[in-house]
Chains A and B, each alone.
Chain A
Amino acid sequence: SQKIEQNSEALNIQEGKTATLTCNYTNYSPAYLQWYRQDPGRGPVFLLLIRENEKEKRKERLKVTFDTTLKQSLFHITASQPADSATYLCALTNNAGNMLTFGGGTRLMVKP
């Protein structure tokens, strides 16, 4: 069956460190993978999209990698700040290519 797995346990890190979140998938062949941020009680906000032929993508303090052989994406936040505390969701296109499927999200807590 198709699965998207993100670590359901919260990730706690110290301010200034790099946070690394993982998204693993099985039985998908996505051409694109996206990352979203969600704050409590609010809708997700789009952060980054990476294509299957891109190994890495950066945006300010964010970096995403996409390894289609390992079926894994890594999401990095460098020089993390308490304001980065949120839940981060990965999403990828289904095999029909007509909709996104979301992972369960990983909660990040950055402590000052």
Chain B
Amino acid sequence: DGGITQSPKYLFRKEGQNVTLSCEQNLNHDAMYWYRQDPGQGLRLIYYSQIVNDFQKGDIAEGYSVSREKKESFPLTVTSAQKNPTAFYLCASSIRTGSYEQYFGPGTRLTVT
């Protein structure tokens, strides 16, 4: 089964703690992305990676960090510096960056109290 997986589905953390969200794909895609979605709103790009060991900031990178040590994996860390971390986080991948269709994971809903 090819696809993109995210874990966990729901995550609860206390304010001030860092938390890492997992994203794995077995589609052999070069590009991977992290988006944030707030209720009733569209997707905002946090970080993207065009290839292993490379990543670029998106529109709202402050308070987040990523790594891309393996082609299949693109974990996102939500740090304590992120002022409003409670949101729905979506990971996606595509063959390459640009106009190619993106395949999304099921999302992780993070709640920070």
Residues of chain A touching chain B, judged by Cβ–Cβ distance below 8 Å, are: 4, 6, 8, 31-32, 34, 41-46, 49, 89, 93, 97-105
Contact = CB atoms under 8 A, between A and B. Distances in A.
Interface in B92-113: 92, 97-99, 101-107, 109
Contacts, number: 57
Interface string B38-61: 001111110010100000001000
B109 to A, nearest CB: 8
Interface centre among A8, A41, A43, A89 (most CB of B within 10 A): A43
Contacts of B107: 41-43
B99 A31 contact: yes
Interface of B: 33, 35, 40-45, 48, 50, 58, 88, 90, 92, 97-99, 101-107, 109
7 contacts: A43-B107, A45-B104, A93-B99, A99-B33, A99-B98, A101-B45, A102-B35
Contacts of B97: 98-99
Nearest to A44: B104
A89 B102 contact: no
Contacts of B33: 99
A42 B99 CA distance: 22
Given A44-B102, A45-B104, 8 more contacts: A6-B42, A32-B99, A42-B106, A43-B106, A43-B107, A46-B103, A102-B42, A103-B42
